[in-house]
Amino acid sequence: MKGLPLVEVEKKSLDSYVKIVGKKKIEEIKDFSSNLEGYKVLHVNSTAYGGGVAEILQALVPLMRDIGLDAEWRTISGDKSFFNVTKAFHNALQGMDIRLNQEMRDIYLKYNKKNAKNFSGEYDFIVIHDPQPAAIYHYLKPYPGIWIWRCHIDLTNTNMAFWNFIKPFIEIYDAYIFTLKNYAQEGLGKEKIFVFTPSIDPLSKKNDSLTLNESKKIFENYKVDTSRPIILQVSRFDPWKDPLGVIDAYRIVKKQFPNVQLVMAGSMAIDDPEGIRYYKKTKSYAGEDPGIFLLSNLDGVGDKEINAFQVASDIIIQKSTREGFGLTVTEGLWKGKPIIGGNVGGIPIQIINGVNGFLVNNINECAEKMIFLLKNPEISKSMGEKAREYVRNNFLITDHLYNYLKLFKNLLKTD
Ligand code: UDP
């Protein structure tokens, strides 16, 4: 087959979102999109499954099609050595102290060049997601279309050796999208910077309504006792998601609530070879505690199961120490739960401390807030109602689509 591998997506209809966001908003999006009909859009990322970007594209691409854009999603290919290197890039760009060596540079460029060779077709807008495929454009330029780099990670404390290495490949894009204004690095043309957040799809299997009873049954399939309190963190097994800190916080809670259980659900994405390693590390840290459940897609945990876990848990946390945005926070808030989240990156734009959740800076604070919510289910419930409305007003896929349309129109004007 010619071109980068194509990802198949389900059909979606913007009209079905009327019941979530109202007719006015949907009409507004449709009116706005009318003169973009037929424009060709390509999204490129590194995995069709696992992690936030894949999650977004599953909804965004079909909705772009529904409003008349000719949208596609393709992925790049690489072997283990490439994904090891890109994971190191991901970590370093988020601030980890890693040395950049020549072998890493060579592997990164070799696979970007290979993928550039496989690239075919012409598009009006090409959106390249994250650092993994970022250098493709360097190998293709000059190439028709408006090229956009969408950065999903937090670059505020970036490792400069890595940033300086990829900067020349990024600078050549026509526009960049960041989740927060302060993620954009110095030296990128200000007029090319656009800022908007990711989003969740309220009608996806992961977020569509599920009854408490049905959700509890799903938990019970995994031997989790729904008559006892349940703490949940949904995350890849990754150092920035602090799974070991989650276990420490749970152990503090357990002193006051001996019955409490901890569920950590984490999918293994193909672009994340560190996942299995970190899963093993977490498992050994959890020891023989029968109250800790480490579950993943390898145990059959898919979107519906994640949904059920979020619906039937008493406490949801996202104890990250770095987080570009944190879709798991959005998903939890949408389930009508206050979220206890690390006070980092994109989490503080989602959690208003004390209103729809709590922002925490360390293990003790995390444990303290979990104990507070376990002791105060009524407060938890009323915070949860605010949580859902906050997501409805700020972080749904419909707004995200609108932001892309505005960006496209803006770029057509300046092209
Ligand atoms: N996810 C999942 N199964 C898991 C773990 C994570 O489906 O076992 C999903 C999660 O629900 C969310 C996405 O992966 O939609 C993670 O996005 P987030 O922005 O929280 O973090 P990232 O993985 O992109 O760093």
The HSE-up count of residue 319 (CA atoms within 13 Å, CB side) is 27
The HSE-up count of residue 260 (CA atoms within 13 Å, CB side) is 24
pTM here is: 0.95
Q: Which atom of ligand 1 is nearest to the CA of 297?
A: 8
Q: Edge to edge, what strands does the sheet with 125-129 contain?
A: 70-75, 40-45, 125-129, 146-150, 175-178, 193-195
Residues forming CATH 3.40.50.2000 domain(s) in the chain: 14-199+396-414, 212-394
Q: CA 99 to CA 83: how far, in whole Å? A: 17
For 267-276, give one letter per residue: b (16+ CB within 10 A) or e: bbbbbbbbbe
Segments of the chain scoring below 50 in pLDDT: none
Q: Edge to edge, what strands does the sheet with 230-234 contain?
A: 292-295, 261-265, 230-234, 315-318, 339-342, 357-360
Give the model confidence (pLDDT) of 96-144 as tens digits: 999 999 999 999 999 999 999 999 999 999 999 999 999 999 999 999 9
- pLDDT for the residue 2: 77
The CATH homologous superfamily for domain 212-394 is Glycogen Phosphorylase B; (3.40.50.2000)
Q: Which atom of ligand 1 is nearest to the CA of 295?
A: 8
Distance 235 CA to ligand 1 centre (A): 5
- pLDDT for the residue 237: 92
| Fold for the domain defined by 14-199+396-414 | Rossmann fold (3.40.50)
Q: CA 87 to CA 317: how far, in whole Å? A: 24
Distance 331 CA to ligand 1 centre (A): 9
Q: CA 315 to CA 339: how far, in whole Å? A: 7
- pLDDT for the residue 187: 86
Mean pLDDT of the chain: 96
Helix (H, G, I), strand (E, B) or coil at 183: helix
- pLDDT for the residue 39: 98
Q: Which atom of ligand 1 is nearest to the CA of 198?
A: 19
Do 98 and 88 touch, CB atoms closer than 8 A?
yes
Q: Which atom of ligand 1 is nearest to the CA of 328?
A: 20
Q: Which residues pair with 295 in a beta bridge?
A: 265
Do 346 and 363 touch, CB atoms closer than 8 A?
no
Q: CA 136 to CA 145: how far, in whole Å? A: 14
Do 149 and 177 touch, CB atoms closer than 8 A?
yes
Place of tokens 């598009």: 123
4: nearest Cα among 89, 118, 141, 111? 118
Q: CA 355 to CA 382: how far, in whole Å? A: 9
DSSP-assigned letters across all residues of 284-346: HHHTT-TTEEEE-GGGT--HHHHHHHHHH-SEEEE--SS-SS-HHHHHHHHTT--EEEESSTT
Distance 253 CA to ligand 1 centre (A): 25
> If phi over 0 gives left and psi between -120 and 50 gives alpha, with beta otherwise, what is residue 37?
beta
Q: CA 243 to CA 56: how far, in whole Å? A: 24
Q: Which residues sit with their C-beta closer than 6 Å to ligand 1? A: 51-52, 55, 206, 234-236, 265-267, 296, 301, 306, 325-328, 331
Atom 24 (ligand 1) nearest CA:
52
Distance 343 CA to ligand 1 centre (A): 18
State which of 222, 294, 313, 328 you would mutate to test the pocket of ligand 1, scoring each by most atoms of that ligand within 8 A of its C-beta: 328
Q: Which atom of ligand 1 is nearest to the CA of 53?
A: 24
How far is residue 156 from each of residues 65, 93, 171, 287, 346, measured CA to CA in Å? 34, 9, 17, 35, 11
- pLDDT for the residue 263: 98
266: nearest Cα among 213, 328, 195? 328
Give the model confidence (pLDDT) of 270-305 as tens digits: 677 788 899 999 999 999 999 999 999 889 999 999
Q: CA 67 to CA 138: how far, in whole Å? A: 31
Atom 23 (ligand 1) nearest CA:
51
Distance 88 CA to ligand 1 centre (A): 19
Which structure tokens are listed for 358? 């709590």
Q: Is the peptide bond before 142 cis (omega within 30 degrees of 0)?
A: yes
State which of 45, 53, 55 you would mutate to test the pocket of ligand 1, scoring each by most atoms of that ligand within 8 A of its C-beta: 55
- pLDDT for the residue 1: 56
343: nearest Cα among 323, 327, 328? 323
Residues 6+ apart with CB under 8 A from 82: 107, 108, 110, 111
Atom 3 (ligand 1) nearest CA:
267
Atom 6 (ligand 1) nearest CA:
235
Helix (H, G, I), strand (E, B) or coil at 134: coil
Q: CA 244 to CA 285: how far, in whole Å? A: 7
